[in-house]
Amino acid sequence: MNYSTQMDAAKKGIVTKEMEVVAKKEGMYVEELKKRVAEGTVAIPANKNHHSLDPEGIGLGMRTKINVNLGISKDCCDIEAEMVKVKKALEMKTEAIMDLSSFGKTEEFRQRLVEISPALIGTVPIYDAVGFYDKELQDITADEFLRVVEKHGEDGADFVTIHAGINKEAADVFKRNKRLTNIVSRGGSLLYGWMELTGNENPFYEHFDRLLDICEKYDITLSLGDACRPGSIHDATDASQVKELMVLGELTLRAWERNVQVIIEGPGHMAMNEIEANVLLEKKLCHGAPFYVLGPIVTDIAPGYDHITSAIGGAIAAGSGADFLCYVTPAEHLRLPSLDDMKEGIIAAKIAAHAGDIAKQIPGSSEIDYKMSKARQQLDWKKMFELAIEPEKPTEYRESSMPAHEDSCTMCGKMCSMRNMNKIMEGKNINILREDE
């Protein structure tokens, strides 16, 4: 039986090879996974032209996935340097990479990325439009914007961020409700600027059916972007953000009618006490569609450390039901991330995702924590490093400051609680001041 997309297959009762892979990874019955894909509560982004893909599921009952942002810009347009980051991100087993390229040989970078990457590939076509056509923003036509989406589909993008929710009605709400940081989404600000400069409706909203034609053709998952995400904790959960979310919920139903999978993008900067409510709001207004969050960043005063502020928010969001975390690096708000910035961002996001999975009680999520605790109890340093979310740093720390006794560290020495409790439980003498007999 033929099918156009993963959702179309699920609705027809077909188990695709991608569903089989995801079900095995998640330890889930494939029939249950198929049901969730048909309902839209799980998405399996899998462009027909991404032949190196190792598919992942995003959504209800799945492990929380993480995304890494990479790409070339006008100030930093070294493709080879970005490819080094790509290979390291894949080595660190990130589930998704978003190509945010906005200048230079964007097509070459995107095609090379798709060719080698088993991870999901996402793009933001509007970033590419200005350079692709070599036109000023206001001179690009609605048709040209959509043709860029088609090109990204041809090249194998598994999901595309499209800011279709910032229509004229949502823009009017933004104008009537003053914000501290206005519109901080890069794609959202470009679309809002285009609408203001041309007087036209958002082309992705006005021609949403044509957008769905493209997505259905290549099986692109729509990542419905949050143009009005808060860029400061002051602006969180305001009228602009909620109005756009309502529009995204309506567009979600239209996409599902066409068997196009949907992910909803979310905040942004947000105080910790608002995060759980925002996850609930997205799930209600967008009918249980998978939720993809940037952070949330829980305080605005930590430039250089926003991988930490976002990991705090990401853990709370994931534990509350968010499905997909976009990493944030120490360079957020400051520069294009370096290789080391990227590594720090990945580790922070992985910690947040895993902590969220434990809170959500994803089956098997805490098994590795049990094994780590057992290794600590046994003072099995090699095993601890094998189980670590990133083994390089703890190994380096241990080797840089070796204790006199292997069954301790240089913090506690022979006063180590694990060492001494093991000896006492075995009926042995502790011998803190003397050598062991």
3-state secondary structure of 158: coil
**Is 354 annotated among the ligand-binding residues?**
no
* Cβ atoms of 101 and 109 closer than 8 Å: yes
**Is 215 annotated among the ligand-binding residues?**
no
- Give me the amino acid identity at 217: K
**Is 3 annotated among the ligand-binding residues?**
no
**Is 406 annotated among the ligand-binding residues?**
no
**Is 425 annotated among the ligand-binding residues?**
no
Instruction: Report angle CA 133, 137, 143 to the nearest 5 degrees.
Output: 60
CA dist 141 and 201 (Å) reads 11
**Is 226 annotated among the ligand-binding residues?**
yes
* Cβ atoms of 221 and 252 closer than 8 Å: no
**Is 326 annotated among the ligand-binding residues?**
no
3-state secondary structure of 203: helix
Do the bridges between strand 221-224 and strand 262-266 make them parallel or antiparallel, or are there none, so unpaired? parallel
DSSP string, 57-89: -EETTSPPEEEEEE---SS---HHHHHHHHHHH
Residue with tokens 């995801």: 22
Q: How many helices (H) and strands (E) does the chain have?
A: 19, 10
**Is 187 annotated among the ligand-binding residues?**
yes
Give whole-number Cα distances, 317 to 63, 293, 324, in Å.
13, 8, 9
CA dist 35 and 25 (Å) reads 17
**Is 409 annotated among the ligand-binding residues?**
yes
The set of residues, in sequence order, having a beta carbon less than 8 Å from that of 362 and lying 6+ positions away, is 61, 62, 63, 64
* Cβ atoms of 40 and 283 closer than 8 Å: no
**Is 265 annotated among the ligand-binding residues?**
yes
**Is 77 annotated among the ligand-binding residues?**
no
The set of residues, in sequence order, having a beta carbon less than 8 Å from that of 202 and lying 6+ positions away, is 163, 164, 166, 167, 168, 191, 195
**Is 81 annotated among the ligand-binding residues?**
no
**Is 49 annotated among the ligand-binding residues?**
no
**N-terminal to C-terminal alpha carbon distance within the chain:** 74
Annotated binding site for [4Fe-4S] cluster: which residue ranges? 409, 412, 416
Annotated binding site for substrate: which residue ranges? 69, 98, 127, 163, 185-187, 226-229, 265, 292
Annotated binding site: which residue ranges? 69, 98, 127, 163, 185-187, 226-229, 265, 269, 292, 333, 409, 412, 416
Annotated binding site for Zn(2+): which residue ranges? 269, 333
